[in-house]
Amino acid sequence: MTVPTLTVTAQVARLRATFASGRTRPIAWRLAQLAQIERMLAEGEQRITAALAEDLGRPQHDSFLGDIAPTAAEARFAREHLRKWMRQRRVPIPLSQFPGKAWYDYEPLGVVVVIGPWNYPLLLTLAPLVAAVSAGNCAVIKPSEHTPRTAQLITELVTEYLDPDAFAVIQGGPEATQAILAEGLDHAFFTGGPEVGKVIMAAAAPHLTPVTLELGGKCPVLVARDADLDVAARRIAWTKLLNSGQTCIAPDYVMVDATVRDVFLPKLRQALVELSPNGDGGASMPIVNSRHAGRLAGMLQDHGGQVLIGGAGDPGRRQVDLTVVVDPGEGSALMTEEIFGPILPVVTVGSDEEAIRRIARGTKPLAAYVFTRSRRLQRRYRAAVSAGAVISNHAAVHFLVPALPFGGVGTSGMGAYHGEWGFQTFSHRKAHLARPSRPDPRIVYPPYGPLAQRMLRKIF
């Protein structure tokens, strides 16, 4: 669907007029909109889960856990802490600025755009919107065209529950995104893959629009020889099963110490069977569309490894088995591309240091995980692995901590959000300095004699 540029221009002009009126700046407006987001999620739960089932084939409870609950928690956390975030912060001043006072505060950026992805189309569109609202902005919302039912529902819910003069939902594909960015908005927030992230950044560059890019990468897992193997297998299996592995912080590949590999693999297989919806180890998992399913099925060809479980794909039916491949070739697509689906390579490593070196050879991931009882290894892993986040003895759950910044590094993204970090992302930190008119000693002005120079050297 093509969105006429005039329509986008008119929508943006309407939002700019609202922002210029000052309507979105008061804390009362922000709190009211955040409360409405919570209400929208509670009252719209059935509609939301139905839309997600249609778009992604996702069970109702998984949609509640994956999209609805964390979005509501984000809105609630912002509402409870917003007054503190908005306070002025006094800072000390040097002797040269006495008498006076200095402080900074946060002002909204203006009209921003949130460009959502398809894998968690509600959560990863509305959670950034929570941050934009808490900062007092108007927002253009661009949901993913790959989940059309959810995109339409977001349009309906925003219209029903939120301030109609402060928000606009614009549907469409890449042409709609380009038209929005061509308006030179005050911030662009994008969640998706690195290749599209480059396109977003390029489109924002002519207007010097600042961007936050939440991307992805090959999130590694190290299972050390001293790990609790039952817990590691269960937690890895659970997070890989979520949303058919179509999660940016899902384990992308597992490195397991050679001394425990043969004990770990049966435990991993058992966990996948026990936790899969039908007790079949994740057979025929739903994929967002046939193109993506075809890509995943292609990765299961010529990988050079041994298939432990699964191995089949049916792109025509948008399905791929949850598949574990043991020791695929290092140059295979499984080990060089972000998988973003229900395929899990397991690689044998001879030591913890070998695993760390393997991670360093690739691009920086959005998250990295280590399963070990050793505090020393946990510290070593945190210090040596550059990633958006490092988690010990679990995977992916750091997303549910709103006080932590969520974001990538390098090719896994730039900028962060969640909680106060999202508030800051969508705000301008404005500096203030206030000085009285008097005293106004003549000595600070030129020409500077020897005495003035000596005194000023002590002050500055």
E strands, 290-439, are 306-309, 313-314, 319-320, 323-326, 343-349, 368-371, 390-392, 413-414, 427-434
Is 353 catalytic? The answer is no
Up-side HSE of residue 429: CA atoms within 13 Å toward CB?
11
Number of H helices, E strands in the chain: 17, 19
- Angle at which helix 5-20 crosses helix 174-181, to 10 degrees, equals 40
Under DSSP, is residue 453 helix (H, G, I), strand (E, B) or coil?
Answer: helix
Is 219 catalytic? The answer is no
Contact 224, 372 (CB under 8 A): yes
Side chain identity at 138, as an amino acid letter?
C
Close Cβ partners of 70 (under 8 Å, ≥ 6 residues apart): 123, 127, 399, 400
Contact 309, 364 (CB under 8 A): no
Close Cβ partners of 138 (under 8 Å, ≥ 6 residues apart): 15, 16, 18, 19, 24, 110, 111, 112, 166, 167
Q: Tell me which of 38, 74, 183, 214 is the catalytic residue.
A: 214
In DSSP terms, 102 is beta-bridged to: 91, 433
The pair of structure tokens assigned to 370 is 């280590």
Close Cβ partners of 40 (under 8 Å, ≥ 6 residues apart): 157, 160, 161, 162
CA-CA distance, 1 to 79, in Å (whole number)? 36
Contact 282, 241 (CB under 8 A): yes
Q: Tell me which of 38, 183, 248, 420 is the catalytic residue.
A: 248
Q: Which residues are catalytic?
A: 214, 248
